Amino acid sequence: MTTLHRVVDNATDAIADIRPEADRSIGALLIDAGKLKAEDAERVLRLQREQNLRFGDAAKQLGLITDADIEQALLRQFDYPYLTAGQSTVHASVVAAYQPFSPQVEALRALRSQLMLRWFDTSAEQKTLAVTSPGRQEGRSWITANLGVVFSQLGERTLVIDADLRHPRQHLLFGVDNRAGLSAFLSGRGGPDIIQRVPALRDLSVLPAGTVPPNPQELLARPVFAQLLGQLANEFDVILIDTPAGSLFADGQTIAVRASGALVVAQRNASRLSLLRSYTDMLRQASATVVGVVMNER
């Protein structure tokens, strides 16, 4: 079996065998989450029967749990996982994982809806999207990570690839191991463990950048990168690719062409309009499809 096929097989394993929770009780979910002790469940059940309360309301009346605990259990029961502070190695800046009802995340869900309408499709050719921008610190990595979370919350099998082989960030945002990653695979040294599922977030996996190589542009231009994307498109519904600054390096253009689509990110009150236009024109001239431009206010 080739390395490419072993990597794809590993991706399949990463998204398989996840136990559904929709048919589990609120009490069981609270106990599993460590919010309620098993010995306290009997007290809750007695009060529930005596006062004809819902389980969560009875547990809250006894002072055993909070509204936030009930909300989290309900979200898990309705297949909408999110995290609480200290629960995961996922960085707090990945707000979609921790604050699903904040205005920022509502905006991200609106962006998700537009991308579902404008780009993502069941065909393998429209499952990959490069997240690009002309300059540094315009929010590419933040947008990529948070979009990955909201797509996974929709039930889409989602993969975030860190193809910024110059200043990688996704391993820090998701708290995954970065010893092996995309750079190792493209140089022929990667094994099937380079794709890692984010345990606390169902349907979300990450392919980190790995060791920063001396020749990132040459690695990304190799045919094996396009082949990898094609193989992974058969296993995932949504593939989001983080990229380096487009005006500084040609990597972003190379990645956008391999992905066949690009979402351009601009930072409000920071990005230069002339540079944004010229970079977008350059992507189009390279035969990349520019799906849209998103204004980041973070």
Quick one: pLDDT band at residue 84, thresholds 50, 70, 90? Answer: confident
**pLDDT given for residue 75 in this prediction:** 67
Per DSSP, 216 falls in state H
Q: What are the angstrom distances between the C-alpha of 30 and each of 24, 56, 67, 99, 194?
A: 10, 9, 12, 19, 33
Which range is least confidently modeled, 34-38, 100-104, 250-254?
34-38
- Backbone conformation region of residue 210, classed left if phi is above 0, alpha if psi is from -120 to 50, else beta: left
Q: What are the angstrom distances between the C-alpha of 221 and each of 4, 216, 252?
A: 16, 9, 11
Quick one: pLDDT band at residue 91, thresholds 50, 70, 90? Answer: very high
Q: What are the angstrom distances between the C-alpha of 269 and each of 81, 104, 134, 294?
A: 34, 18, 14, 13
Residue 192 has pLDDT above 80, yes or no: no
Quick one: pLDDT band at residue 46, thresholds 50, 70, 90? Answer: confident
Percent of the chain whose predicted confidence (pLDDT) is above 70? 89
Between the two ends of the chain, the Cα-to-Cα distance in Å is 45
Residue 18 has pLDDT above 60, yes or no: no
Residue 245 has pLDDT above 80, yes or no: yes
**pLDDT given for residue 56 in this prediction:** 83
Q: What are the angstrom distances between the C-alpha of 208 and each of 180, 198, 254?
A: 8, 12, 18
- The structure tokens listed for 35 are 């919010």
pTM over 0.85: no
**pLDDT given for residue 5 in this prediction:** 63
**pLDDT given for residue 178 in this prediction:** 94
**pLDDT given for residue 6 in this prediction:** 63
Residue 76 has pLDDT above 80, yes or no: no
